[in-house]
Structure 1
Amino acid sequence: MGATLPALAEELLREIEKAFCETSHVPDDLLLALKFIFGASAVPALDLVDRQSVTRITSPSGRQVYQVVGSSGKHYTCYASCHFCSCPAFMFSVLRKGDSLVCKHLLAVYLSQALGSCQELTVPDKQLTRLLLQEEEEEER
């Protein structure tokens, strides 16, 4: 889980993980709590998880990033370790306005971690570097 999430949000994600491990589903009360804490990001994030849109990309050096295919089909890079997503909603709602804890992509990463539903991809270090540089070049355009 991201180190910068409020303790209550981290605890909720741990409870979701525990419940899912024990029963293979998330109880309604935890889903309501998810909606209460994360607001409008909760339902779209659950949809992204259901569609298996989250991929953890790792390299032999141990580096890892998450790539989430958004509802528009665009790929966004998320860094769970530092609580960051490359999408415009994260830049605006989380960083600029401060009215959201996370965007739907980052929440989908946290939920897929809790539910054990990340797609896994291992790539060489050079390929991971190219992937990240490509993302940076697209943002500059």
Structure 2
Amino acid sequence: MAVTLPAVVEELLSEMAAAVRESARIPDDHLLSLKFIFGSSAIQALDLVDRQSITLVSSPSGRRVYQVLGSSGKTYICLASCHYCSCPAFAFSVLRKSDSLLCKHLLAVYLSQIMGTCQQLSISDKQLTEILLTEEEQDHQYGMVISFWGLKSLLVAI
């Protein structure tokens, strides 16, 4: 089962990507649309992109995760393939309450993909597994919702 974003978000991100390919910048009207859909998270996500806080971590098997250094200094794991972030805001506002479509970290991942600003890091499959296991341990310690997804599901998704 593929997890998809609402059509309006997919369309906006697609238009933004086309605009960046054409003119190397995001037009103001797209930024206004982003702010309308995501509220203050849009500004916070753009700030993360500006600070180059997003790293694409890939392994030889082709698995890919994003590490996002949040404004608090904590690093969160984002899986763009299944629209998941390990932050508390995603667990509470996106999964539990359905108040938001994405958290600022996941939105920053999509924006950095569009703008080509992701830092790149290649690591071994074992190292990637260790990153995910460490994240799961931390999430269980704080009672996060990663157990809702389950590590096995996350590994399959990436």
* TM-score normalised to structure 1 length: 0.96
Give 1:98's aligned residue. Answer: 98
Structure 2 unaligned regions, length at least 5: 142-158
* Secondary structure of residue in 1 paired with 2:98: coil
Shift in Å at residue 40 of structure 1?
2.3
Give 1:56's aligned residue. Answer: 56
User: Mapping of 1:110-125 within 5 angstroms?
Assistant: 110-125=110-125
CA RMSD of aligned residues (A): 1.1
Distance between the aligned counterparts of 1:4 and 1:126, measured in 2? 29
Which one has more relative contact order, counting CA pairs under 8 Å at least 6 apart? 1
Give 2:65's aligned residue. Answer: 65
Sequence identity (%): 67
1:80 aligns with 2:76: no
Identify the range of structure 1 (16-25 vs 84-93) with the bigger mean alpha-carbon deviation: 16-25
* TM-score normalised to structure 2 length: 0.86
Count of residue correspondences? 140
Residue-by-residue CA offset, 1:68-124 (whole Å, 9 max, x unaligned)? 000011000001101110000001100111010000000000101111111111100
Structure 1 unaligned regions, length at least 5: none
Letter in 1 for 2:98: G
Letter in 2 for 1:56: L
Letter in 1 for 2:52: Q
